[in-house]
A and B are shown apart, each in its own frame.
Chain A
Amino acid sequence: MTGFRLKTGGEIDRARPVTFTFDGESVTGFAGDTYASALMASGHMVMGRSFKYRRRRGLWGAGVEEPNVWLDITCGAGFAPGRRATTEPAQHGAVTRAATASPSAERDATGAFDWFGRFIPSGFYYKTFMWPDWHLFERHIRAQAGIGTVRRDFTDVPPADRIHHHCDLLVVGAGPVGLAAAVMAAEAGARVMLVDEQDRAGGSLLAHPAVIDGQAAPDWLAAALARLAAAGARVLMRATAFGSYDHGLVAVNQRHDDGRSDTMWQVRPHHVLLATGAIDRPLPFANNDLPGIMSAEAALVYLRRYAVAPGRRVVVATSNNRTGAVAQALAEAGVAVTLVDARADATAPAGIALIRSRIIEAHGRRGVRSVTLADGQRIDCDAVLVSGGLTPTIHLYAQARGKPAWDAEKAAFVPGSTVAGMTLAGAAAGQFTLAGAFAALPEALAPLGLPLAAAPVTGAAPRYEIAAMWPEPGEKGRVWIDLQHDVTAKDVELAARENFTSVEHLKRYTTLGMATDQGKTSNLAGLALMGALTGRTVPQVGTTTYRPPYTPVPYESFAAGRRGVRFNPVKRLALESAHRAAGAVLREYGGWLRPAFYGTDDSAILIEAKQARESAALFDGSTLGKIEVMGPQAEDFLEFVYYNSIRSLKPGRGRYCFVLSETGVVFDDGVLLRLAPDHFIVSCSSSHVDGMRGLLEEWRQDRFDPSRVFIHDATQHWATLTVSGPQARAIIAGAGVEADLSDDVLPHMAIGAGRFGDQPLRIARVSFTGDRSYEISIRATQAAPLWAALRQAGSDHGAVLLGMEALTILRAEKGYLIIGKDTDGTTLPQDLGLTGPLAKKSEEFIGRRSLILPDAADANRRQFTGIEVTDGLGPLPCGAHGVEDRDGRPRSLGYVTSSYFSPTLDRPIALGLIERAQARQGEEIAFQHLGQRRRGRLVAPCFLDPDGGRLHG
């Protein structure tokens, strides 16, 4: 037992006890405690196990820099895996366990790993566990390597909120410097946002007393917050600015304590001020990872904020002149303190025992019991507080491509190069006295260009003095550098021996700085040691690239509720409720929710396809793209866009055309309808509407006069109801549609007008089934009565409702291809047998030159073909490859792109892209799929009514 609660003091509410369990044991603290402070106050020392060697670990820090103590927390219905004990408020009734240990921190089953430490240095897994197969060992190693447990049953995460915020000044850090800056700017009229990762403002003031502008720190703090509120500043607590991104974006993740998911703020400030403070470093000595060894600055936080002392006989070891104050505070709390200061000219506060030396080894098994100093003394203790010096928290600055500079006197990386729109202040800027930090504020805020009031004033403090103590090469014993990833000085030496000497290689080879603490307490010591090993200075070794996030951010904060129906929304048909009422099975096609078939099982598909040809079919073709192109230059424009020649297309007529991309590959197909000399409708594949619109807009602006040709997407304005089959005309007339459907007025591939009640109609005689077919377009919001009337009339004529599955069979029977299914990213029009325009069209069109490149003339190109099944084994698998055997090995000739059983023909049919198919018509070839061989004959890609008589039937 070492840590204990002081009788008075702290921010805790002693009237409200909080009881939780840790590894099955009951612990009682107070409201205002973190799990860490409550555990420390109740005397717990061993609170976790280390990542690799499974060594006992206790608390190191008081905040986000904590590398050792992680908890899986179950509280009520909530579950939070792998959270730092130092940043989670203790909740009454919570059940916590050490996330890094199994079954508990005290009784970890794998503690023996430490005995094999010398065999599992950095990178051991590159050199071991390889034979006979790494995968045999991988599962067990992974089981050991995690932090926290995933609960598979816990999926109910409320959606995170995402808010975009614009302001003049974002201040990161609500310590005294950040608060002062925010007040100065806000009262000068700036829109200010102030964020802090802690649950309350104050920063260093909460542990270090100060007098500011004549006020005691708590009073000054309260007044500053009141002034910010009065000036309309936005203040967010428990909000971590975790990343600085391109174009001035700073992302802030704000936690809530009411069960909500976090709020992700995407802040775009004109200027950022980082007042993010600095983090204390460890000291290097053998066994410096034992429980009971912690940061001196953190110990002061526990003492002042939570009224917890780390022990009763404490050694305070330091390299700098800040730590005397920690020793003094402990002594005032009744703790026996010995100050061990490495600096030759060190002094101690009155009454504090001082030894000018340094620790070379700590002793103890379950926790530190004594330390040995360089001068040979051995001192018994129950806690050791260490301070290796301050490391400014410059992460957001470095993420914004700021280049840190090495300040040898302060033994720290401080901001170096200028970053537009960002300045630093306080300890983050290397300014380690409050008076100096305040004095530098006007310059830090100057870019705002506002008339600022004077910065606050506080008493002068001694300049920061430090005798940097880096790990030395060849030190005896195990000296820890990175506590969270269990990296020791010997691992750094190993990396140097194996020539991984660059700082980026050092990091990746040893994993130093790669844990969730991202090396906040370890990076500098590691690279300093590497420098010593390779004859370089610290700045010569340099730092690794800083990347967001500064601390872990839940995935849900990035997702912001975008899952389930919001993940990939589909477009909905105007007639969806009618389809549902008719018993449609709905599936997603090309981004739309559409009827696949109508009925309870897919036997309906063949029934629909058969009946469509025997009498009639009704289907909802509303998704078909309707892009209107109009203007004086519309015809010139479309003549260039299309592979086919379109100038001769008369108003009232349509033509089936292809659009290529500049590589000659078929991009889309569809019917071009001309309504007037300067008014066309480009009907394009449902899934390609946005792509076609983009293509049209690009050429309109890049090659033609954008003031003479215009593009409007009318796709969603019209519902298109298609009636197909021998009974089509009778059904349309029977439904009450007023239109002249005689063949001389509306021949195949023509468009005319009609009416239904008071609604104008566009009626296009276009067929995707191969039968006589009318596509009736009506205002989408007025479609329901027409659909109902067509169904009513249809029922008198044996019509069937047709879903997408049956439709694709009907079109395949006719060899009507589907772009992207029967064509791929290499298919040229000549591969489809369409050579006319290339030979005859004299005007330029998209992709024209590509059609005569050498590759386009290759005789072995894959060509569109029909396939007749000749082995009697049913439809070929879609995607089966045509194969020929060459030298005993099969070679792909292409593949089956569409394959169905045709109910009309009562046999299987297929389409495909097969090498030299046009020259090999009639030839039987082999097909292969999942090891099975099939046989089929290459035939013309039209199995039904090749003369097209049914279009006029």
Chain B
Amino acid sequence: MADTFDRAAFWPEPAAFAQDIPGLSVRDLPELPQAYVSGDLAAFLAAGALAPAVGLLGLAQGDRYAVRLARHRLLVVGIEPDAGWNPGGWGVTPVGAGLAVVAVTGPRWRDFFARATPIDPDAASASAAFLLGDGLPAILTRHDAPDNLRLHVGRATLPALHDWLGDCLNAMAR
């Protein structure tokens, strides 16, 4: 049989990820409604009665909250407002299917973070967006409790995140 240069065997078929080690549990979360919002962020938050948008490792609470991504942009989680330009002065793009969310939970989250990025976990950063591991764009906040982390990555890159997470947890478990 001639070589068809089929890469289907090299790239394993994606599967759901769940792995526990002492001190840390990591698993895929079910799809969350999310949307990018740009423009007059203060007006958007006020209109939705949302708390101020949190930054990197910031503590977000509840089912509806905002995550700051850039000077003029945030990610709202828990709702997907209508797409397009809102006369209130902000634009919305739903992205709930585009961003997969992974829960990283436990007291050893610092050891996970120390492998994920050179960023100092004790230094506040206004944007929750960063590059994780081998260079994957990601968003990281806390949710409801200091040891509950939420990691958002592009859904098409979720299997790559899983591969990195597996190696990270295996290294931490030794």
A679 and B167 in contact, given A165-B114, A576-B14 (Cβ under 8 angstroms):
no
B118 touches A676 (CB 8 A): no
Name the residue on A nearest B12 (C-beta).
A565
Say which one of A567-575, A653-661, A882-890, A912-920 lies at the interface with B: A567-575
Determine how close the nearest CB of chain B comes to the CB of A676; give it in whole angstroms.
6
A residues 578-619 touching B (CB-CB < 8 Å): 580, 584-588, 592-593, 596, 600-602
A-B contact number at CB 8 A: 164
Q: How far apart are the CA atoms of A572 and B156 in the complex, in Å?
A: 5
Q: With A679-B84, A780-B155 known to touch, is A268 a contact of B120 (CB < 8 Å)?
A: yes
What per-residue 1/0 map shows which CB atoms of B130-174 lie under 8 Å from chain A? 000010100000000000000000111111100110010011001
Once A571-B156, A588-B7, A718-B97 are accepted as A-B contacts, the answer to whether A163 and B114 lie under 8 Å apart by CB is yes
Which chain A residue lies CB-closest to B84? A679
CB-CB contacts below 8 Å: B1-60 with A? 1-2, 4-8, 10-14, 31, 36, 38-40
Q: Are A166 and B120 in contact (CB under 8 A)?
A: yes
A631 touches B7 (CB 8 A): no
Contact A706/B117 with A562-B134, A584-B8 known, Cβ cut-off 8 Å: no
The bracket for how many chain A residues form the interface is: 35 or more
Complex contacts, B94 vs chain A, CB 8 Å: 714, 717
Q: Is the CB of A569 within 8 A of B160?
A: yes
B122 touches A602 (CB 8 A): no
Is A399 part of the binding interface, using a Cβ–Cβ cutoff of 8 Å? Answer: no
* Chain B residues with CB under 8 A of A574: 97, 155-156
How many angstroms between the C-alpha atoms of A710 and B119 in the bound complex? 27
Smallest CB–CB gap between B123 and chain A, Å? 9
B84 touches A561 (CB 8 A): no
Asked if A679 and B91 make an inter-chain contact with CB atoms under 8 angstroms apart, the answer reads yes
Please report the C-alpha to C-alpha distance between residue A42 and residue B54 in the assembled complex, in whole angstroms. 66
* B158 nearest CB across to chain A (Å): 8
Q: Among the listed A164, A593, A679, which residue makes an inter-chain contact with B11, where contact means beta carbons less than 8 Å apart? A: A593
Smallest distance from the beta carbon of A762 to chain B beta carbons, Å? 9
Report whether B163 and A566 are in contact in the complex, using a CB–CB cutoff of 8 Å.
yes
Decide: B115 and A569 in contact? CB cutoff 8 A. no
Cα-based distance from A715 to B157 in the complex (angstroms): 12
How distant is the Cα of A707 from the Cα of B72 in the complex, in angstroms? 7
Q: How far is the CB of B159 from chain A (nearest CB, A)?
A: 5
- Indicate whether A675 reaches chain B with its CB closer than 8 angstroms: yes
Which A residues from 686 to 732 make CB contacts under 8 A with B? 706-707, 710-712, 714-718
Say yes or no: is A748 at the interface (Cβ < 8 Å to chain B).
no
Inter-chain contacts of B118 with A (CB < 8 A): 164, 266, 268
Q: Which chain A residue has the least Cβ–Cβ distance from B30?
A: A781
Which residues of chain A from 387 to 430 have a CB within 8 Å of any chain B CB?
none
Q: Is the CB of A631 within 8 A of B91?
A: yes
Q: Which residues of A contact B111 (CB under 8 A)?
A: 163
* Chain B proximity mask over A254-292: 1 for CB below 8 Å, otherwise 0: 000000100000101000000000000000000000000
Which residues of the partner chain B approach A588 to less than 8 Å between Cβ atoms? 7
Asked if residues B6 and A631 are in contact (CB atoms below 8 Å), the reply is no
Closest chain A residue to B161 by CB distance? A569
Q: Which of A260, A593, A710 contacts B73 (CB 8 A)?
A: A710
Q: Which of A165, A577, A631, A716 contacts B13 (CB 8 A)?
A: A577
Whether the Cβ atoms of A571 and B167 lie closer than 8 Å is no
Contact of A561 with B167 in the complex, beta carbons under 8 Å: yes
Tell me, in angstroms, the Cα distance from A710 to B39 when the chains sit together: 7
In the bound assembly, the distance between CA atoms of A628 and B39 in angstroms comes to 14
B-binding residues in A (CB < 8 A) = 159, 161-166, 260, 266, 268, 561-562, 565-566, 569-574, 576-577, 580, 584-588, 592-593, 596, 600-602, 628, 630-632, 634, 675-676, 678-679, 706-707, 710-712, 714-718, 779-782
Given contacts A569-B160, A571-B154, A710-B73, list 6 more A-B pairs with CB under 8 A: A163-B115, A580-B13, A585-B4, A586-B8, A710-B38, A781-B31
User: Footprint of A on B, CB under 8 Å?
Assistant: 1-2, 4-8, 10-14, 31, 36, 38-40, 71-73, 83-85, 91, 93-99, 111, 114-115, 117-122, 134, 136, 154-160, 163-164, 167, 170-171, 174
The 3 closest A-B pairs by CB, nearest first: A717-B98, A710-B38, A569-B160
